[in-house]
Structures are given as C-alpha cells and as structure tokens.
Structure 1
C-alpha cells in the first residue's frame, strides 16, 4: 500500500497511474493521522513552494510529516515534495513553518541558460542506493523547475545533475528519499525507480560511489491537433498552413489516445494535444478531451501538454469559470502543462499598451499557482516583408536570406489569432518577451508560412525569438525529414523541436529522428 500526500496541486493522476501500473494500490491522505499510519509515503509536489507550505500548515500536516520522517520511515518526495524537506525557499515569503528535516534552503538557478530547466537530463550517482537498482548510467530523467535544493550537509546528496553547474537532483538519508526530477514522467527509468521504492525491503543507501551520467538532451515532441470531425468523432488531424480539410472533410489521421501511446513507445520525449475544436459551451463540459488526458496518462509516462480553451468562461447558466479553473481541471486529468494561444496575444497587447500587469490574466493566474513551467505560449506568426526596418516601426524587423515577392530583404513576424485567420499589430518577438514577463515558462514557436510544407523550420524566426527570451523555446512547423531536426539544433539554441504530420503519416519515424541526431552527436534521450 502506497499512501499519497495530495495537497491539491498539479498532476497527481500520473503518479497514481504509475503506481497502479506497477501493481500497487494507492490511499490518499485525508487526515493528519493518515500520514502516521502510512507504510510507504509518496509526496509529489508541483508549482509554488510558498503555496505548498501554506496548504500543509492549513491542513496540519507539517508536524505528522516531520514525525514520520524523523522515524526514518519509507518516504519519496518528488519535486516540491523533496524541496519541502529543507528549511525554506527563496520563493517563500509567508513565514509559515517548514518541515526542516534537512539543513539547507531552496534557491533559484543562477545561470545564463534557459530557466526553467525543462527537459531530460542525466544524474551523477553519489551513493549506491537500492532505488537506482537496475537503472544504467545513461538513463535520463525529466526535470521541470526553476529552483533547486542547496543542502548544508553533503552526506544527504544522492545525485547531482549538470545544468551550467552541478546542482543536487536527489537526496537520501536512510529510508527518506527525494528527487527533483519526476519519475512518473521519466519513461522506463522513472518507472523502475518507482518500482524500487515500492518493492525494496531495505531502501537505505550503501557506500559512496561516483558514477557520471549523461547531460541534457534535446527534446523531440509529437503534436496532436485534436478536433471533432463532421460526424462528431474526436480525431487527430493536420492542416496545411492551418487548413485541416481535404476534399471537404476533416483529415482523420487517427485516434488521439492510440497515437499518443504509439509515440510514447517510439520514444517521444513529450506529447502535446492541441484541441482545435470550437467549444460548445465550456471546456470542462467538453468531456472527450478530459477523457483523452485521463486515458492517455494511464500508459504514457512522459510529459503531456494540452492547449485550447485555457481562458475565462461564463457558461449558458451564467456561472463564471476562470482560466485557472480550466487549467486546474486539465492538470487533475493528467496534463503537466497548458498551452495558451490566441488569448496570449490579446493579453500581451494590453500589457504592452499599459505597461501594467493586472494579476488577473490567465498567464499570471496559472503561473502564480503552478509556476511558470506549467504555462506554454503558442505563437502563430507569419512573415511580413518590408523594404526597410523603417516601414515596420515599432516591430522587431530582421534581415532575411529569403527575399520577399518584391525582392524585399527585411521582414517581421506578425502574430495571428483565431487559427491564423486574423493578423494582429504585434510581432512574435514582442509577444514572447511580454508573455515571459507575465509569467510564461516556455514558448511553442509555430510558423504559418512553413506549416505543412516539409521545407524545414524557420531558423531566422527561431533565432530572433530565442535571443529575446530566457525561457525555453520549442521549434515548430516545417519539419519534413530527419535532417531538419539536426538543422534546427545545430543552427539555433532551441531546446526542443516539435512535429505532427510526418509522425502521424509515418513518413519520418521518431526513432529515425533520434538515431539521426545521435549520429550527428546531438544529445538525445535514448529509446529503451
């Protein structure tokens, strides 16, 4: 029996699914006494440290947790669940009591690399621990965080990970274990670690060792555009420059749950669902997408992102729901991140116009509770050619190696809304910077001009945006062969590359992409 401490934040469905997949049963903590009665306690944490500590104090969980830990009983804390073991965090100004089992604090990354640290990274093993039994040194785990623990006592360090500098990525003292990475989102390696925690009689570490792991991988993301076809069936489709119809019918490239499962087996590092169906009333009543997430997360143990409808709504009965309500329901259904598209443009326009944050936008509300790593901004720009930068003030204009129809040598990237049907007076670089300031943690950078063309990613666009922000950028639109993925990683600093149609139609298998990148010495997560 695994007892799960669910304090109400983020995606705990995936960790429950992983435990049940391994044959375990899960009991959720309802009262402080449930903590003391636990045989093995699992504490997954997502989002904001201050919010977590506040809730733990409100529920009166701090003291029974401390007592359980001081008795050296089996415990696995994940992400914030590990950070909670320490004395406090730089993102907590509440003054609430922390657990404080280990001396040390949680500090924000100080690096010129993108923050949050998002992706698959290796670990350097410092102790011979039963939880890493059967996991090879080349294994990589999924990280998504802006803060990391800094222990005063180095003897508690189980692993370190390199991200510009070495930081502590897991700790262990006796039967008490904490990981900054998410085992439930780390594929086969993560599932093995969870199995070891569940089944090993003696979890206590042995002698000190020093086994080096591999570094950060470039991510390959499979994207599934999901919508209802003319018969009401939910299908995966793909547009050519955003037109999803072929001979009058919506292209049907498969069922979303089945395709997601296939991509997981083929080695996709993340899976993104973009719900492009117009909502009938309110997205939480659009139950098919909720069901897609719930069913997918039962067997797919890599990060899931969902986009579409992440905004405030008033339903037909006059009840109002915030974007945070929508996002929270998606997180509870199995999503790890939400993607905001057209609404982000409107939010950024107002922010740029006034220079003031309202605190009430979907970007701000969601990132305040779940932190910025949970908020992805999907940008849909198209090229606008100009003869000189003066023609497009105050937009971010760049020189281009691909002249326009009248031989123009300059261009800017106009943001669009409504599935690319309406252009706005905002450029992609300005939008990305504004959304980062508002609390977004990642940019999904599409390109209407390249969508469905199989001509390669727009490297000029990607470089322009990547140089303007300090958060990760996902390159999207235009991939037609394995070489295009190598091209984007060799010529830009994009952290990830996304594709859809070529994967759906099996024109370019994910395995082939990864093998090609590996042959080019571009770091990837190996397919096990």
Structure 2
C-alpha cells in the first residue's frame, strides 16, 4: 500500500495515476498519524515553496514528516518536496522548511538561459541507487525556478546533479529518504521506470544506496527543445466534444465544425508518438461557466490516466459569477483544472486586460489571475497565450508601439510593423503590442509565453521568426513558438533561427500530414537537442 501526501495543492492526480499504472494501490494521508505509520510515503511538492509549507503547517504535517525522515522510514519527495528538506528558500523569505538539510534554496543565478527551467534535461548520478536501475541517461521533466546548490548538500546526501547554466542538485538520497527535483510522473517511460523501481521492492525500506561514487567524470547535461501537440477542443453542433482546427481562427467548414478526432484519444496518440507536452485549448461556448465545465475536466482526468507528460489547459481562466450569483476567483477555476490533471494554466484574453491595467497604474494588485495563480502554484504554472497580428507602418514614429524593421514588407511597401494583441479568439484588436503584453505578464508572475501569430495561423508557411525574436528579446521566461508549421523542416528552422524553447503545432499532426516522430528525427539529424 502506497500512501500519498495530498495536502490539496496542484496536480497530484498525475502521481496517483502513475502509481496506479504501475499496479499499486494508493491511499491518502488523512491525519498526521498516517505520515508516521505509512509503509511507503510519497510526498509530491506542488506549488510555490511558501504555499507548500503553509499547507503542511496548517494540516499539522510538518512535525510528523520530520519525525519520519529522522527515523529513516521510506519517503519519496518530488519537486518542491526536495526543496522543503532545506531550511528555507529565496522564493518565500522567512518561511521555515523542514531543516533536514542546511542551507537555503536559491533562484537560478543570472544567466542567458530562461527561468523557470521548463522542459526535459538529463541527470548525472553521483552514487549508485536501486531507484535508477535500468536508467540509460534519458531526459527527465523539470519545471522550476529555484534549486539546491552543490555547496549546501553533503556528499552522503548527493544522488544526482543536472546542468542549467550551472550544476545544481537534482536528486538527494540518504538511507530510505529520497527526493527528486524532476517529476518522474511527468517523465514518460523513463520516469515511470524510476518510480516503479522505488515501488517494486517487497518493502520500500529494502532500497539501499551504495557509498561508492559513480566512476568517471560526469558529462554536462543539456536541455531538449520541446515539441508540443496542441488540441483545440469544443463542442460541435451535435453536442459532441471534438478536436477541431481553425482556418484563420474559423473552425467551420461548409457550415459544420471541423471534427479531427476525440481529445482523449488524440492526446494518447501524441504521447505514444513522442510529444513532449500536450496542450488543450478550450474554445467552446461553455467556457463562460468554467466551474461547470465538466466535459473539459473529464478530458483532463481521463487523459492523465495514460499520458505521462505535462498537460496544459487554456480557455476561460478568469474570475466570474455564475447564473446563481455565486462568485469564483481565477484561482478557484485554475485549482479545479489542476486537481483534474493539468500541470499548467494558459491565460489568453484576460492577460491582455490585466496587462492594460498594469501599464496604466504600474501597480501589482494581487487580484489578477496571473498573480493569484502564480503566488500559490508558482510562476511555472502560468502560461500566457498571445494572439498578435501585424500592423504595418511607414515609420516607427507613426506609432507609440514597439516596432521592428521587417523583411516582409506591407501591402504598400511598408518596412516596419508592430504586433497588435487580440482577444476573443483573434476577433478583437487592442491598443496593446506583444512586447507590452509579455513584459507586463512576466512582471506580474507569469512563467512562460505561448506565442501564436494570426498572420501565420493555418498557412503552413513556417513560423514567424521576426515575432519570436522580438518577444524573446523582451522577456527572460521561456517562449513556445506557435502558428504556421507545415513541415518537419519548419521545426528545425525555428530552433535554428530563434531561441524559442519549444514549438507547437496542431493541424498538421491531427491530419497526419507530419508526425511527431518525423519532427524528432529531423531535429536530431540537424543537431537540435531532443528527448
């Protein structure tokens, strides 16, 4: 029996599903005493450091956790749970950790790399562990802005390290206490194997670690470029939930909603083909009442049973009042999606309205959806979906917006343009440019940009490199390139000609014009790091 420390934060469903997939039964911690008595305890730390420790304190779990660890009873910690072993974190100054290990968790140092680190990276083992039996150097999924430094971890605890601008601690283990910075439940087959190694012993406390260090000099690990499959989901005229694809944001063909497949089945197919992430964009009418959005909640729940890579959900993430007059915050809505299997929340139109208000006042109110979700779940959980289109001008002085000199001149030979942000599925333009939007959202706590392009959508002509480089130069958070992919070569081009961390496509995958496997092969053949 595996006991899961689910304290009500974030996507714990994926851990639960991964354990079930491996053939084990899961029970939840219901009281502090359960932490002590559990045969095998898994502690998935999801959210910001402060929110995790606050919830543990609230439920009376801190002291039992410390007691269990000191008693060397089996514990497996994931992500923030590794960080919680330390005395504290720069993410939440003044908040005490479990103090099993000395020192503070620190934000990644200033580098040319985007922070958070989001994506697939390798690990170097510093000692032998049964948990890594059969591990052959596969990349594992990381998503974090803060890390444990080598100087704060004794050799008797150090299990693995990873490189991201520097070498940081990605795994610790002493006796029967183990913690990873990466997410095994989101790391595909390799991650399930690691988790399975932990669970398959007759008793978890039979897992031992040799003091012998791994011989040889560890190689520098490298981040992979991510290939993401996007599924636009809505109801058709018969009320069926389908994956569709718009032509310049129009999802109808001869009057009927395009039906390119069922969302759960397609997501599973893409996972099996090697997709690094799956994104669901809810574009249907019932997004107006997201707390009653049972179809999309069910899609996430069912998908997470068989898909063990990150899931993002977007559409309707905002505060609202339902038909009965009950008010819900953005955090309420996001929390439902997290509990149903989402790892990240994508915010679109609401981000534009928030950025406009922030640009007027310069004040962080703490009430925006970006701030609310980021404070509780961490910046890495908040993705900003940007839908810009080109507006051409003859001279940069003709506009107050951030312009570029373009190699694609306008209809009257204009050499300059700015990228106007839109809302409501691209139907309404705002007096806001893409740089203003992404800069404001990063300042408010967003952790990633999903950069679409209305001009490129559905054209199969390749990504808009000028837009991507324009936005990348304005932010220090990861950027996902979207819109325009028509071939595997376009993915090679976007990673060669821009610094985008990921690239996303929809229609070409749905229609089987290009497979994810083809994209991965093309990237590898052209020297692009992949999973």
TM alignment of 1:312-331, pairs within 5 A? 312-331=319-338
Partner of 1:122: 122
Distance change in 2, residues 1:94/1:230 (3 Å): same
Partner of 1:193: 194
CA drift of 1:94 comes to 4.1
Distance across 2 between alignment mates of 1:264 and 1:53 = 33
Distance change in 2, residues 1:427/1:254 (3 Å): same
CA drift of 1:101 comes to 1.3
CA drift of 1:281 comes to 5.2
**3-state SS of 2:233 partner:** strand
Please say if residues 163 and 220 of structure 2, whose CA atoms lie closer than 8 Å, have aligned partners that are also in contact. no
Distance across 2 between alignment mates of 1:256 and 1:319 = 30
Partner of 1:91: 91
| Segment drifting more, 150-159 vs 171-180 | 150-159
CA drift of 1:279 comes to 2.1
After superposition, give the CA deviation of every residue in 1:75-95 in whole Å (9 maximum; x if it has no partner). Answer: 110001111111111122344
Distance across 2 between alignment mates of 1:55 and 1:472 = 29
TM alignment of 1:220-231, pairs within 5 A? 220-231=227-238
Of 239, 258, 263, the match for 2:246: 239
Q: Would you say 1:474 and 2:473 are equivalent positions?
A: no
CA drift of 1:214 comes to 4.2
After superposition, give the CA deviation of every residue in 1:55-113 in whole Å (9 maximum; x if it has no partner). Answer: 212222111111111111111100011111111111223444x3111222211101321
**3-state SS of 1:385 partner:** strand
Structure 2: gaps of 5 or more residues: none
Partner of 1:209: 214
Distance across 2 between alignment mates of 1:523 and 1:146 = 21
TM alignment of 1:29-428, pairs within 5 A? 29-96=29-96, 98-112=97-111, 113-137=113-137, 139-150=138-149, 151-200=152-201, 201=203, 202-206=206-210, 207-210=212-215, 212=219, 214-279=221-286, 282-393=289-400, 395-428=401-434
After TM superposition, which residue ranges in structure 1, 4 or more long, deviate above 4 angstroms? none
After superposition, give the CA deviation of every residue in 1:313-365 in whole Å (9 maximum; x if it has no partner). Answer: 10111100001000000000000000000111011001001111111010110
Distance across 2 between alignment mates of 1:387 and 1:432 = 25
CA drift of 1:212 comes to 3.8
Please say if residues 4 and 27 of structure 1, whose CA atoms lie closer than 8 Å, have aligned partners that are also in contact. yes
CA drift of 1:280 comes to 6.6
Please say if residues 125 and 213 of structure 1, whose CA atoms lie closer than 8 Å, have aligned partners that are also in contact. no
Distance across 1 between alignment mates of 2:530 and 2:188 = 14
**3-state SS of 1:128 partner:** strand
Distance across 2 between alignment mates of 1:273 and 1:509 = 18
After superposition, give the CA deviation of every residue in 1:237-282 in whole Å (9 maximum; x if it has no partner). Answer: 0011111111111100000000000000000000000000122751
| Segment drifting more, 147-156 vs 445-454 | 147-156
When the two structures are superposed, what TM-score results if normalisation uses the length of structure 2?
0.97
Please say if residues 123 and 212 of structure 1, whose CA atoms lie closer than 8 Å, have aligned partners that are also in contact. no
After superposition, give the CA deviation of every residue in 1:4-37 in whole Å (9 maximum; x if it has no partner). Answer: 1111110000000000011101111111100111
| Segment drifting more, 463-472 vs 353-362 | 353-362
What is the aligned residue count? 522
| Segment drifting more, 45-54 vs 125-134 | 45-54
Please say if residues 281 and 316 of structure 1, whose CA atoms lie closer than 8 Å, have aligned partners that are also in contact. no
Please say if residues 103 and 153 of structure 1, whose CA atoms lie closer than 8 Å, have aligned partners that are also in contact. no
Q: Would you say 1:440 and 2:440 are equivalent positions?
A: no
Distance across 2 between alignment mates of 1:110 and 1:51 = 23
Distance across 2 between alignment mates of 1:110 and 1:95 = 21
After superposition, give the CA deviation of every residue in 1:107-151 in whole Å (9 maximum; x if it has no partner). Answer: 1101321000000000011111100001102x0110000001132
**3-state SS of 2:105 partner:** strand
Partner of 1:490: 496
Please say if residues 288 and 316 of structure 2, whose CA atoms lie closer than 8 Å, have aligned partners that are also in contact. no
Structure 1: gaps of 5 or more residues: none
The alignment's C-alpha RMSD in Å is 1.1
Please say if residues 5 and 42 of structure 2, whose CA atoms lie closer than 8 Å, have aligned partners that are also in contact. yes
